[in-house]
Amino acid sequence: LYAYFPGGPTWPPFRRDLKYAITATSAAASIDRSTLSDVFARAFSRWAAATNLRFAETASESDADITIGFYSGSHGDGEPFDGPLGTLAHAFSPTDGRFHLDAAEAWVAGSDVSRSSATGAVDLESVAVHEIGHLLGLGHSSVPDAIMYPTIRTGTRKVELEADDVQGIQSLY
């Protein structure tokens, strides 16, 4: 079953249009900027399809509800990244909006990650769909097929919301 963060924080009911900015991308050198936009747009659209939330990218960080960036090691929030594998990314609960990715990962986008030659390749879209669930207020699910289940095999792709994820998000929004 799905879960919430303690206290069940959500984006407030009058905030159905959320804007996100993709900042700090220089570390994601293997993926070009327009591909990053496409991958995050696809990841957000999966949650938009299950709710009345709408998401749009903005170029202006000061306008953004959600900020997405790639960082290495310590990056100022007390939750340092750890190099390849281990922690891949983290996102804070509503309405913080910070979504950070470990720049040290072998991120792949848009192709079949299982056919990637990079050792320890991590599918960016799969991680993004999971972290957006956290940004919207979902914790971890006990259903192994759910996007919000707390483990994923490396070199695999998992981007489709399961019934459990849909029920979880629809109970919040």
Q: How many chain residues touch Ca ion (CB under 5 A)?
A: 4
User: From the candidates 105, 125, 131, 162, which is the catalytic residue?
Assistant: 131
Instruction: HSE, CB side, 13 Å, CA atoms: give it for residue 123.
Output: 20
Residue whose beta carbon is closest to Zn ion: 100
Q: How far is the CB of 143 from ligand TQI (least distance, A)?
A: 12
Q: Which does 82 bind (CB under 5 to 8 A by kind): Ca ion, Zn ion, ligand TQI, none?
A: Ca ion
Active site includes 131?
Answer: yes
**Cα separation, 146 vs 135, whole angstroms:** 16
* Positive or negative: CA dihedral 111, 98, 92, 80: positive
Give residues 112-151 in contact with Zn ion (rule: CB under 5 A): none
**Cα separation, 126 vs 159, whole angstroms:** 5
Give residues 60-99 in contact with Ca ion (rule: CB under 5 A): 82, 86-87
| Cβ atoms of residues 70 and 101 within 8 Å | yes
SS3 70: strand
Residue 165 touching Ca ion (CB under 5 A):
no
Q: How far is the CB of 63 from ligand TQI (least distance, A)?
A: 25
Q: How many chain residues touch Zn ion (CB under 5 A)?
A: 3
DSSP H or E segment with residue 33: helix 33-48
**Cα separation, 137 vs 66, whole angstroms:** 13
The site map against Zn ion for 64-103 (x = CB under 5 A) is -------------x-x--------------------x---
- Rounded to the nearest angstrom, the gap between the alpha carbon of residue 36 and the centroid of all alpha carbons in its chain is 12
Give residues 104-143 in contact with ligand TQI (rule: CB under 6 A): 126-127, 130-131, 134, 139
Nearest to 143 by CA among 122, 167, 170, 112: 167
- Residue numbers at the binding site for ligand TQI (CB under 6 A): 87-90, 126-127, 130-131, 134, 139, 150-152
User: Which residues of the chain form contacts with Ca ion (CB under 5 A)?
Assistant: 82, 86-87, 102
Catalytic residues: 131
